[in-house]
Amino acid sequence: MELAADITPEDLKVFLQEAEEQLQLLDDDILRLEHDGASEELLQEIFRAAHTLKGSAATIGHSNMAAVGHASETLLDRLRNGDLSVNTEIVNALLHSLDTLRAFKQQLAGEVDEEPDIDAVVAELEAASGTPDDMNAGAQAGPAKLSIDHDTLTAILEAEAAGQSVYRPIVTLIDSCEWRTVRAFQIVSELSNNGDLLACSPTSSEIEADIVGVTIEAVLVSEAGQDVLEAALKAIEDVESVEFADVSSQQAPVEAAASDQSGAAPDAAVSEESHNKPQRGGQTVRIDVERFDNLANMIGELVIDRTRIAQIGRILESRYKDDDLIDSLSETSGHLTKVVSELQEDIMKARMLPVGTVFRRFTRMVRDLALSLDKRVEFVTDGEDTEIDRTVIERIYDPLVHLLRNSIDHGIESVEERRASGKPEMATLRLSAYHEQGYIAISVKDDGRGIDTKKLKEKMVAKGLETLESISRMSESEAVNLIFTPALSTAAETTEVSGRGVGMDIVRANIEAINGSITVDTALGVGTELVLRLPLTLATVNSLLVKVGKRDYALPLVYVTETVKLSHHALTTVGGRTELMTIRDQVIPLIRLHDMWPNGSGAGRAADAEFGVIVNSGDRQVMLGVDTLTEPQEIVVKSLGGFVGDVKGISGASILGDGRVVLIADVASLVNAAGRRPQREDQLQSEPQNASIDQTEADPEVFQAAA
């Protein structure tokens, strides 16, 4: 697809950004149209967005996008006028047109190579819109013959006097052409892209009214040349022939037209649309994502240097407290700290986006998937204004897609099942976001079947992943967390929708990779809720600094529950290796970080860790044994880089104020390394050691889990 010759890369970039905004707006509003029904305000908003998108496409010379937009606009106009009522056929046609427009946008962005075929979608739009009798009559009669008024003749004379070429192309469509309006729009758009369109028949208003015959005639000032124009016009489908009539000023027919009849004066087909492009407010500006990330990284470096300068200032002040320069240094350091802190805060705020930007992308997916599975699902979102770092939003999209698809495919029952169990035929799938103790929580909740832990246990034993003895000792919460076992599925059949029986382990791995966690709450026959707890930003992290041997480590505070003095509590060794500590009737395994990172402990090993840091990840809890507790501190997260690679138990690094490098512990992987969360002490003593699966509660089929 060739665009207008004067379109710059910057123009194209702006168009792609605006097109995505309009497409998302249309997606949301069309789904609202289906859910809430038609209202004058909503239809006007949809029509305006479609009109703007069509005009923007025509402005850059993308006639195919403009043609699809025009066909959508025709259907929307009939809805606005009350000629049609909203139904599934109309909504599907409009949504399919958006898919085609988005595919064109992806092609322009270089994301795909193949150009979409517009014929099928235009046919679907026209079938959904129909054609009123009066419009058919107009189309049969055809538009008025091309007329050249006084202003047009003046423009022709001026062009000829300036040595410019003036052409009068006559394009004839095949008699069987079913989409004359679309082809006329493409022809006029193509001519406009190749020059200055002075007159045309049909006019833009006639095309808008579907008053189109088999012949399109125009007057054009162009530097492209007749051969180029002819080739461009013949490339349009359904064009039978292209001829060029004599357009000399002496032979041009003139019709004097009064100035107040300007409605009949032909315009370029894109003139109105180009004036209707959304105007940017003077208070906002677009910034390239890469440039913004670089800016955020530089702010991170400033934060590190700010802390170092402050610490150096304190050291010098203690050594040379009587020196006047020290006071000046202290004052300057304090001001620098204030400015850098404010700058960091502003940059962090600028990185924050409402989580609704990702939530809105799921509405269409849920609607289409429910229809394909013949299920009735009401998709509800809450907390869309909750803000989170842009980089976190990018990382949670795929996990949320999997959780939502899994809930619809396996969690929510069919209409017949719900009716038989006394539930409403319409299921509810709720996606919520809210702040919770310094991080953001995102909940995916359905009112479907729930998770059958009996089926989970049977599957684990059948696959050799657990023994009958270990299964019998599991608490209900531990059994539910079996859904995160790699390659485990409780679905009777794996499907393309839910992911061929894998995925929940990958979901948890992706969430934990950004220092997040996931928990599951379920009730059989009632439903399931999965809650993701995520850091607000990946750029900085509030951490507890500790020492293991001679090396410093940072434990993200989002995982830390409490700290204890190990010498004040009794430890129990199980199996000669595993150490357990009992705190408030809770048995917690102890991981001595000396054993995890022996090379980082400095010369020799301390006889015993002095302190224990109790941490949680999901439903699991362990205690990390460390030598020294230093202080809580906000640190700037740095990647270890490709040369270092993945280090077990380490997620990144940072630099402290005194220049020391501190490694950031990957708490989630440390917790997973400790195995499942131990049960309460009374459970360990009272539960049978050899209970069979048959002793667990009976219930209907499982259904959601790791499929």
Residue type, 531: V
Amino acid found at 93: A
> Which residues sit opposite 591 in a β-bridge?
624
Rounded CA-CA distance 108/3 in Å is: 10
Pairing state between β 517-523 and 527-535: antiparallel
427-436: strand order across its sheet: 377-382, 427-436, 439-446, 527-535, 517-523
What is the model's pLDDT at position 608?
A: 62
List C-alpha distances in Å: 55 to 268, 276, 281, 298: 12, 7, 19, 40
Q: Two tokens at 541?
A: 């992290």
Residues of the chain where predicted confidence (pLDDT) is lower than 50: 132-141, 249-282, 490, 492, 494, 496, 498-502, 600-607, 676-707
Q: How many residues does the chain have?
A: 707
For the stretch 547-569, what's the b/e string if a residue is b when 16 or more beta carbons lie within 10 angstroms of its beta carbon? bbbebbbbbbbbbbeebeebeee
The pTM of the full predicted model, rounded to 2 decimals, is: 0.64
Output DSSP code: residue 586: E
Is 239:172 a contact under the CB 8 Å cutoff?
yes
Residue type, 173: L
Would strands 560-565 and 571-574 be described as parallel, antiparallel, or unpaired?
unpaired
For residues 210 and 208, give the distance between their C-alpha atoms in angstroms, rounded to a whole number. 6
Catalytic residue among 34, 51, 190, 230: 51
- The residue among 653, 574, 567 whose CA lies nearest residue 611 is 567
N- to C-terminal Cα separation, the chain: 42
Kind plus residue range of the DSSP H or E element containing 582: strand 578-583
Confidence at residue 404, expressed as pLDDT on a 0 to 100 scale:
94
- Which contiguous run of DSSP H or E holds residue 64? helix 63-80
Q: What is the pLDDT of residues 101-140, one digit of tens each?
A: 999 998 888 888 888 888 889 889 888 887 544 444 444 4
Q: What pLDDT shows up at residue 141?
A: 47
Distance CA 116, CA 377 (A): 31
The string of DSSP letters for 120-171 reads: HHHHHHHHHH---HHHHHHHHH-PPPP---HHHHHHHHHHHHTT--EEEEEE
410 three-state secondary structure: helix
Dihedrals phi, psi of 624, to nearest 5 degrees: -100, 125
Instruction: For helices 88-108 and 9-36, give the axis angle rounded to 10 degrees.
Output: 160
Q: Is the separation of the CB atoms in 490 and 456 below 8 Å?
A: yes
Residue type, 679: Q
Residues 6+ away with beta carbon under 8 Å from 137: none
Spell out the alpha helix ranges (H) of 324-389.
324-351, 356-372
Distances (CA, A) of 646 to 263, 534, 643: 69, 21, 9
Residue 51 among the catalytic residues: yes
Q: Are strands 560-565 and 196-201 parallel, antiparallel or unpaired?
A: unpaired
Here the tokens at position 239 are 């064009």
Q: Report in angstroms the alpha-carbon separations of 503 from 152, 461, 492, 496.
A: 65, 20, 16, 12
Handedness of CA 670, 671, 676, 680 (dihedral sign): positive
What's the pLDDT at 654? 85
Q: What is the mean pLDDT of the chain?
A: 78
Residues 219 and 156: beta-carbon distance below 8 Å? yes
Looking at the DSSP assignment, which residues form a beta bridge with residue 556?
543
Contact (CB, 8 A) for 412 and 376: no
Number of C-alpha atoms within 13 angstroms, CB side, residue 604?
3
State the catalytic residue, choosing from 34, 73, 124, 387.
Answer: 73
Structural contact between residues 673 and 561, judged by C-beta atoms closer than 8 angstroms: no
Other beta carbons within 10 angstroms of residue 378's beta carbon come to 14
The pLDDT value recorded for residue 36 is 86
pLDDT at 429: 95
546: left (phi over 0), alpha (psi -120 to 50) or beta: beta
Lookup: tokens for 564: 């204890």
Task: Say which residues have a Cβ less than 8 Å from residue 132's Cβ, sequence separation at least 6.
Answer: 78, 83
Which one of the listed residues 64, 193, 194, 406 is annotated catalytic? 406
- DSSP H helices, 484-625, are 504-512, 593-596
Question: What pLDDT, on a 0 to 100 scale, did the predictor assign at position 206?
Answer: 80
What are phi and psi for residue 23, nearest 5 degrees? -65, -40
Neighbours of 171 (CB within 10 A): 24
Look up 73 and say whether it is catalytic.
yes
| Cα dihedral 386, 388, 394, 398 sign | negative
Token pair of 581 as six digits: 């500590």
